[in-house]
Amino acid sequence: METKTDKNQQYRTESGLTPLQEQAAILLASGETITAIAEKLEINRSTLYEWQDILTFKCFYNKQCEIIRERIKAGLFGIQDDAFKAIKDILTGDNPAIKLKAAIWLIERASATGIGETDPHSALKEMVHPSGNFSFWNSYHEKEYLKLLEKFHLQDDDENRAVAPSISDIARGSNQ
């Protein structure tokens, strides 16, 4: 579902981003440089840096990184036995310098940092209520959350709503 913003009449997707912003995030996640993306999309590099500060852009970028990581994992399943054998051969080889480099590489990969939040709704809830304890979610939090949804051009999604009932639910008396 696409929505139109009144401000600049650019179409926005369900992610809250314009198609151009989504394309930039996909290219960034695939390893393209800021300069190459700016040239390819015919936008300023400074625009890309600004977009990287937008919460919905970060979440979409993180989602693309997650998709790429899953594709890589799926591709490795067919060659995992060969990869493990090659690493084992290196680690049990005669060259101590190569053994050390291989061991360090393996440890670094095993402890690689995780990917950030991919769901902008969850990220916005965390911004409104940083404790993460949604049992204390109230009408103030709901109001702030709805403002942020509008700011980031996102639709209200009951599936992603915090545990507490919404203001409109309370007004309708449907919070039983």
Q: Can you give the length of the chain in residues?
A: 176
- What tens digit of pLDDT does each residue of 99-133 get? 888 877 777 776 666 778 889 988 898 888 887 77
User: For the whole model, what pTM was predicted?
Assistant: 0.58
Q: Where are the alpha helices (DSSP H) in the chain?
A: 19-29, 34-41, 45-51, 55-76, 80-91, 96-110, 120-128, 139-151, 167-172
CATH topology for 3-110? Arc Repressor Mutant, subunit A (1.10.10)
Would you list the domain boundaries of the chain?
Answer: 3-110, 120-172
Which residues on adjacent β-strands are paired with residue 12? 3
- What tens digit of pLDDT does each residue of 1-55 get? 444 444 444 788 888 999 999 999 999 999 999 999 999 999 999 999 999 999 9
Q: Which two tokens stand for residue 162?
A: 């915090």
- What tens digit of pLDDT does each residue of 58-115 get? 999 999 998 988 887 777 777 777 777 887 888 888 888 888 888 777 777 766 667 7
Of the chain, the end-to-end C-alpha distance in Å amounts to: 31
| Residues in contact with 92: Cβ distance below 8 Å, sequence separation at least 6, in sequence order | 99
- Looking up tokens 């996909």 gives 26
